[in-house]
Structure 1
Amino acid sequence: MKILALDASTEALSVAVVDDERDYELEHFEIAPQAHGRRLLPLAQELLERAELALADLDGLAFGRGPGAFTGLRIAAGLIQGLAAGVDRPVVPVSTLAALAARCLYNDARVQRVRVVQDARMGEIYSADYQRGQGADPEPLGVERVMRPAQLDADTASAYTRAGNGWHVVAGERGVAPEMLEPVEQWPHALDIARLALPTLRAGEGLPAAQALPVYVRDDVARKPGGRR
């Protein structure tokens, strides 16, 4: 299986190409706020050339579907839709929270559970819990949520490895130094998104390009913090 994956859900942007038949993985990752729209497509073209692949050689495409920054999610989804439609390939939307958990699990065999906390702005956080599943892939323990930092369960936090860029928000809410809640991984990576998408592609469960849509979790972008849902 050959796959191209993109992520633009945070200040970071990343592009990855994976060809599991050749045991080949290639990723570009950088922190580049507000450069996603300008940088993603050229980077995708560059990585495909380095991998000696054309877009038509791919079996599918994947992207970080959220939750995350609304503009970045729309950019990634729109770009993936266009690329996939052009060569009639399926798309796999992958949770950015699951991608963060996967990075912790793939990189450290000792990690068994991961709590991901992403900064949702407007005084809120996105959060989800995962445990090590088959092949080290993250298995969700519940649903993705958007909440006030004070609503995060503090009693069980020590049982989880921390990941995500929202732990400083939680630290501020609890009045502790940010380094006390330092995450192991802060940013989702396209490489992990590609790895997580491969089983879905192998099973023939990718989506048509037009159905590759962002998932915001927060149901009202313009809602004031603490407002009714």
Structure 2
Amino acid sequence: MTVSPALRLLAIESSTDTLSVAVGTGGPGAVPASYAGAGAAQASTTLLPAAQTLLAQAGWALSTLDAVVFGRGPGAFTGLRTACAVAQGLAYGARAGQPDAPGLPVLPVDTLLALAEEARWQRSQIADAPPLTLVAALLDARMDEIYAALYAVDGEQLRAIAAPVLVAPEALGDWLAGHGAPASGQGLWLAGNALAAYGERLQAVPGERLVVLPTAGALLRLAPGLLTQGLAVPAAQALPLYVRDKVARTTEERERAGAQR
């Protein structure tokens, strides 16, 4: 895909309890128009009106967008399905009287990559901030587990070291060490809402802390590079990334987990 230097993008991130929507170019220094509100089950009622309002504020018709970007997961199942469904619906809706047209490209982005980008960006806004060379993106997966991924930071670029997995809070330190994170924690940042959920159980894990969520703004910043890599897909091929394949434990599993603490 040939990427325009002045992209028109709509981004949707609803993998957590916070819904984030933004429109913008994703270019360096570009300030997107954005919306943040309650996510989870409430996202299904507010997401589409928020997207329509932001497009109107930007003066962009849906059909003029270059792509619809969404956080594909992992994260809250309901939020992921909502983001995917709305992204697909908007992509198809842009056909405007052309039922045989393919619709807009859709760009699915790993939620943990967006989280790592938000952490990188927030630290870059602080003068004389400690160096950040590794980001462990950590989302609360509930059920005493964490969605985790590890990224190397090189300037404004992120490179995946370990793909998203489920890990128990007590196993996080060993998981990071197994992927080359320094035992000293130097240059390593633990970022995400799992820090608030499992703070005491993560005390032994080395590294700086940053409580942060993935945002639609982070999706916009990532989008130009990902589009250049040809990672956009037709709407029908845009699917959530769950990592976990069920939403609740059996009574036996909960009792076993409690006994292992």
- Structure 1 match to 2:138: 117
Residue 147 of structure 1: how far off its partner (Å): 1.4
Give the count of matched residue pairs: 223
2:102 matches 1:96: no
- Structure 1 match to 2:127: none
2:247 matches 1:221: yes
Residue 106 of structure 1: how far off its partner (Å): 1.9
2:167 matches 1:161: no
Residue 195 of structure 1: how far off its partner (Å): 1.7
**Code of the aligned partner of 1:219:** D
Q: Is the 8 A contact 1:167 1:181 kept in 2?
A: no
Q: Is the 8 A contact 1:123 1:148 kept in 2?
A: yes
Distance verdict in 2 for CA 1:143–1:203, change over 3 Å: closer
**Code of the aligned partner of 2:63:** A
Across the aligned residues of Structure 1 and Structure 2, the Cα RMSD in angstroms comes to: 2.6
Residue 59 of structure 1: how far off its partner (Å): 0.5
Deviation string, structure 1 residues 97-131 (Cα, Å, up to 9, x no partner): 11111012123244222111111011111111111
Q: Helix, strand or coil: the match of 2:16?
A: coil
Q: Distance in 2 between matches of 1:146 and 1:184?
A: 20
Pick aligned residue for 2:151 from 112, 130, 141: 130
Q: Distance in 1 between matches of 2:193 and 2:19?
A: 14
**Structure whose alpha-carbon radius of gyration is higher:** 2
Pick aligned residue for 1:143 from 133, 144, 163: 163
**Code of the aligned partner of 2:81:** R
Q: Distance in 1 between matches of 2:151 and 2:21?
A: 24
Q: Could you state the TM-score of these two structures normalised by the residue count of structure 1?
A: 0.86
Q: Please identify, of 198-207 and 56-65, the stretch whose mean Cα deviation from structure 2 is larger.
A: 198-207
Q: Distance in 1 between matches of 2:184 and 2:146?
A: 15
Deviation string, structure 1 residues 165-204 (Cα, Å, up to 9, x no partner): 1113432435x59xx9984242110011122122233454
Deviation string, structure 1 residues 137-162 (Cα, Å, up to 9, x no partner): 32111121101111101664723112
2:11 matches 1:5: yes
Q: Distance in 1 between matches of 2:76 and 2:184?
A: 25
Distance verdict in 2 for CA 1:205–1:130, change over 3 Å: closer
Q: Is the 8 A contact 2:146 2:166 kept in 1?
A: yes
- Unaligned segments of structure 1, at least 5 residues: none
Q: Helix, strand or coil: the match of 1:141?
A: strand
- Structure 1 match to 2:259: none
State percent identity of aligned pairs: 39
Q: Helix, strand or coil: the match of 1:108?
A: helix
- Structure 1 match to 2:87: 80
Q: Could you state the TM-score of these two structures normalised by the residue count of structure 2?
A: 0.77
Distance verdict in 2 for CA 1:128–1:203, change over 3 Å: closer
Q: Distance in 2 between matches of 1:202 and 1:127?
A: 26
